[in-house]
Amino acid sequence: MAARGRFITFEGGEGAGKSTQIRRLAEALRASGIACLETREPGGAPGAEEIRTLLVTGATHRWEPMSEALLHFAARREHLARTVWPALERGLWVLSDRFADSTMAYQGRAQGVGEDAVRTLYRVAVGEFFPDLTLVLDVPPAVGLKRADERRHDETRYERMAASFHENLRAAFLDIAKRDPARCAVIDGTRELDAVAAAVRAEVRTRLGAKLP
Ligand code: TMP
């Protein structure tokens, strides 16, 4: 039987560069003979993608914050049970564009659901399962929102939230990383793409022992 794969999550505010960096890391892993799966939250499984549409489109205040946290965890459970856990069992490395730290930052902190409530939901919906490594791509909100605005898309519900919301998010992600340094690494996402990609590979090499260039 194949050894269990590793679960790596990418976190950060809007326009932090997560999707580009996931693609770059996946290419590096594959070139080194490590099979991997790129996925995202909310989403990554059929039901979870349907829930995603409910969450990322429409009026900013369409959900009561706790309902929104519950929807994210419902999507997450589908994603884990149908996509992530089976892939890890097969030995694949799974790279996820966002995971539960996003619920802690967006709903728990910026939307006021509270950290204890999010921890409780995590225990119920996810259990004793955690990422092997979480890479927090840090960029000032002004930089990230400008980047997010430049790509044409219709998933703008969170991007349209107030400036203070995005400042809260950044502080929340930095706090999460500080409290859990064994799992999390903060990477300066304002640098050139190649420099950020090299920093990502360095963390994966040193923390997970992957043989990467
Ligand atoms: P994306 O823009 O990175 O694809 O993520 C979709 C949006 O969903 C993003 O604005 C952040 C938000 N989000 C939450 O609010 N809570 C969560 O738990 C997750 C996974 C995402």
Query: pLDDT tens, 66-105?
Result: 999 999 999 999 999 999 999 999 999 999 999 999 999 9
Which whole-number Å values give the CA distances from 36 to 4, 19, 48, 212, in the listed order? 12, 15, 20, 14
Residue-wise pLDDT tens digits, 108-146:
999 999 999 999 999 999 999 999 999 999 999 999 988
Q: Give the mean pLDDT of 30-39.
A: 97
Which whole-number Å values give the CA distances from 29 to 24, 133, 153, 213, in the listed order? 9, 15, 29, 9
- Tell me the C-alpha distance between 155 and 187, whole Å: 25
Percent of the chain with pLDDT over 90: 83
DSSP bridge partners of 117: none
Give the pLDDT confidence score for residue 196 in this predicted structure.
98
Better-scored residue on pLDDT, 209 or 44 = 44
- Tell me the C-alpha distance between 120 and 32, whole Å: 38
For ligand 1, pick from 9, 66, 98 the residue to mutate: most ligand atoms within 8 Å of CB. Answer: 98
Please tell me the least confidently modeled range out of 28-37, 118-127, 157-166.
157-166
Q: Would you state the CATH architecture of domain 7-208? A: 3-Layer(aba) Sandwich (3.40)
Nearest CA to ligand 1 atom 18: 103
DSSP bridge partners of 102: none
**What is the position in ligand 1's atom list of the atom closest to the CA of 103?**
18
Pairing of strands 7-11, 36-40: unpaired
* Start-to-end CA span in the chain (Å): 27
Give the pLDDT confidence score for residue 147 in this predicted structure.
87
Mean pLDDT taken over the chain: 95
Give the pLDDT confidence score for residue 105 in this predicted structure.
97
Nearest CA to ligand 1 atom 9: 158
> Does the pLDDT of residue 1 top 60, yes or no?
no
Better-scored residue on pLDDT, 213 or 171 = 171
Write the DSSP assignment of the chain as a string of letters.
Answer: -PPP--EEEEE-STTSSHHHHHHHHHHHHHHTT--EEEEESS-SSHHHHHHHHHHHSS-TTSS-HHHHHHHHHHHHHHHIIIIIHHHHHTT-EEEEE--HHHIIIIIIIIT---HHHHHHHHHHHT-S---SEEEEEE--HHHHHHHHHHS--S--TTTTS-HHHHHHHHHHHHHHHHH-TTTEEEEETTS-HHHHHHHHHHHHHHHH-----
Query: What phi, psi does 157 have (nearest 5°)?
Result: -55, -45
Residue-wise pLDDT tens digits, 38-56:
999 999 999 999 999 999 9
DSSP bridge partners of 37: 94
Domain boundaries, the chain: 7-208
Q: Give the mean pLDDT of 144-171.
A: 87
> Does the pLDDT of residue 159 top 90, yes or no?
no
pTM: 0.96
**What is the position in ligand 1's atom list of the atom closest to the CA of 157?**
10
Compute the distance from residue 41 Cα to the ligand 1 centre, in Å.
Answer: 7
Reported confidence tier of residue 152, pLDDT bands at 50, 70, 90: low
- Closest to 28 in 3D by CA, of 95, 98, 86: 95
Spell out the residues 6+ positions from residue 164 whose beta carbon is closer than 8 angstroms to its own: none
Compute the distance from residue 208 Cα to the ligand 1 centre, in Å.
Answer: 26
Q: Give the mean pLDDT of 2-29.
A: 94
Give the pLDDT confidence score for residue 92 in this predicted structure.
98
